[in-house]
Structure 1
Amino acid sequence: MTTGAPPARTALVTGASRGIGRATALALSRRGDRVAVHYGSDRAAAEQTRALLSGAGHLVVGGDLADPVTAQRVVAEVQRELGRIDILVNNAAVAPSPETYHRVENTDFETWQRVWNRMVDVDLTAPATMTYLVARALIAANAPGVIVNIGSRGAFRGEPDHPAYGAAKAGLHAFGQSMAVALAPHGIAVATVAPGFVGTERQQPKLAGDTGDELRAQSPFGRVGTAEEVAAAVVYLTSPEAQWASGAILDLNGASHLRT
Structure 2
Amino acid sequence: MSKSAPAFPVFPVTGRRVLVSGASRGLGRALAQAFAANGDRVAVHYGSRRDEAEATLAALAGDGHILVGADIADPAAAERLVDRVAEDLGGIDVLVNNAAVNTPHPPADTDYATWVTAWRDHTAVNLLGTANLSHLAATRMIAGGAGGRIVNIGSRGAFRGEPDHPAYGATKAAVHALGQSLAVALAPHGIAVASVAPGFIDTDRVSHRLTGPEGDAIRAQSPFGRVAAPAEIAAAVLWAASPDALWASGTILDLNGASYLRS
When normalised by structure 1's length, the TM-score is: 0.95
Q: Which residue of 2 aligns with 1:84?
A: 91
Secondary structure, aligned partner of 1:8 = coil
What is the CA-CA distance between 1:210 and the residue it aligns to? Answer: 3.3
- Given the alignment of the two structures, is residue 58 of structure 1 paired with residue 61 of structure 2, yes or no? no
Counterparts of 2:237 and 2:39, CA distance in 1: 14
- Read off the aligned partner of 1:160 and give its amino acid letter: P
- Given the alignment of the two structures, is residue 214 of structure 1 paired with residue 217 of structure 2, yes or no? yes
Secondary structure, aligned partner of 1:221 = coil
Secondary structure, aligned partner of 1:201 = coil
Equivalent of 1:156 in 156, 159, 173: 159
Q: Which residue of 1 aligns with 2:51?
A: 44
Cα RMSD (Å):
1.1
Unaligned runs of 5+ in 1: none
| Contact 2:17 2:94 survives alignment (8 Å) | yes
Structure 1 runs (4+) greater than 3 angstroms displaced: none
Q: Which residue of 2 aligns with 1:71?
A: 78
After superposition, the C-alpha distances for 1:99-119 in whole angstroms (9 at most, x for unaligned) are x22222222111110000001
Counterparts of 1:243 and 1:41, CA distance in 2: 34
Q: Which residue of 2 aligns with 1:21?
A: 28
- Read off the aligned partner of 1:14 and give its amino acid letter: S
Q: Which moved more, 1:14-23 or 1:100-109?
A: 100-109
Counterparts of 1:150 and 1:112, CA distance in 2: 24
Counterparts of 2:245 and 2:232, CA distance in 1: 17
Counterparts of 1:209 and 1:101, CA distance in 2: 20
Unaligned runs of 5+ in 2: 1-11
What is the CA-CA distance between 1:6 and the residue it aligns to? Answer: 6.7
Aligned length: 252
Equivalent of 1:101 in 82, 100, 104: 104
Identical aligned residues as a percent = 60
- Read off the aligned partner of 1:193 and give its amino acid letter: V
After superposition, the C-alpha distances for 1:204-234 in whole angstroms (9 at most, x for unaligned) are 1111243110010000100001100110001
When normalised by structure 2's length, the TM-score is: 0.94
In the superposition, relative to structure 1, how do residues 56 and 167 fare at CA in structure 2: closer, same or farther (>3 Å)?
same
